[in-house]
A and B are shown apart, each in its own frame.
Chain A
Amino acid sequence: SQKIEQNSEALNIQEGKTATLTCNYTNYSPAYLQWYRQDPGRGPVFLLLIRENEKEKRKERLKVTFDTTLKQSLFHITASQPADSATYLCALDIHNQGGKLIFGQGTELSVKP
């Protein structure tokens, strides 16, 4: 069956450390993989998009890697801040599916001062 799995447990880290979130998928062939941030009761906000032929993408303190052989993406937040506390969602954009995104359940990140 098709699945997208993110860290099931909430991630608690200390301010200044690097947070690493995992997204694994099975039986999908994504053309793109995206990461979104969602705060409680709010709509998801786009963070990064990486194509199937890209290995790594960076934006300020964010870095995402994409390994289509392992069927895994890692999302890193360096020098984390309490304001980074939120739920982070990975989403797959599948070939020839019109651009709809299939989302994982999300990982809740808490950054303590």
Chain B
Amino acid sequence: DSGVTQTPKHLITATGQRVTLRCSPRSGDLSVYWYQQSLDQGLQFLIQYYNGEERAKGNILERFSAQQFPDLHSELNLSSLELGDSALYFCASSVRQGGNTIYFGEGSWLTVV
């Protein structure tokens, strides 16, 4: 158990809908990362927050947004969902930025039908 909690574990939704994925980082970790993993793309970095502020952005679609709240939990919002958004979404956390271990949650499986 990494200490990173993600909900929901599985989600099936229709195209055009909006979903929110939630992440609670390990106790004491200030940095939260979101990754997308699909079969053909591997593990792709989406976005990073540190202590409530956005720190780095990857190839995150405009339909996707995220935030980190004062209690350090984070949410990833996916809207106008398309079939191609079906993937495993991971949240990860670390104590600081750079040069440290990143701990991953077990992921949220999103299936868009």
With A46-B101, A46-B102, A99-B56 known, 7 other A-B pairs at CB within 8 A are A44-B43, A98-B55, A99-B96, A99-B98, A99-B102, A103-B44, A104-B42
B interface list, Cβ under 8 A from A: 2, 4, 31, 33, 35, 42-45, 48, 50, 55-56, 58, 88, 90, 92, 94, 96-107, 109
CB <8 Å contact, B100 and A99: yes
- Given A46-B101, A49-B101, A93-B98, does the pair A98, B2 have CB atoms closer than 8 Å? no
Give chain B residues whose Cβ lies under 8 Å from the Cβ of A99: 31, 48, 55-56, 94, 96-100, 102
List chain A residues, Cβ under 8 A from B45. 100-103
Give the distance in Å from the alpha carbon of A42 to the alpha carbon of B43 in the complex: 12
Binding site for B on A (CB under 8 A): 31-32, 34, 41-46, 49, 51, 89, 93, 97-106
* Complex contacts, B2 vs chain A, CB 8 Å: 43, 45
The residues of B that contact A89 with a CB separation of less than 8 Å are 43
Count contacts between A and B, CB distance < 8 Å: 73
Contact A100 B58 (CB under 8 A): yes
**The 10 residue pairs across chains A and B that have the minimum distance between CB atoms:** A43-B104, A99-B97, A99-B98, A98-B55, A98-B56, A103-B43, A105-B42, A46-B101, A100-B56, A98-B97
Residues of A within 8 A of B55 (CB): 98-100
CB–CB B105/A43 < 8 A = yes
Closest CB in chain B relative to A62 CB, distance in Å:
14
Would you give the shortest CB distance from B85 to chain A, in whole angstroms? 18
Q: Are A45 and B48 neighbours in the complex by a CB distance under 8 Å?
A: no
Q: For the complex, what is the distance from the CA of A104 to the CA of B109, rounded to whole Å?
A: 21
Specify which chain B residues have a CB less than 8 angstroms from the CB of A41 in the assembled complex.
88, 107, 109
Given contacts A44-B43, A100-B48, whether A93 and B101 have CB atoms under 8 Å apart is no
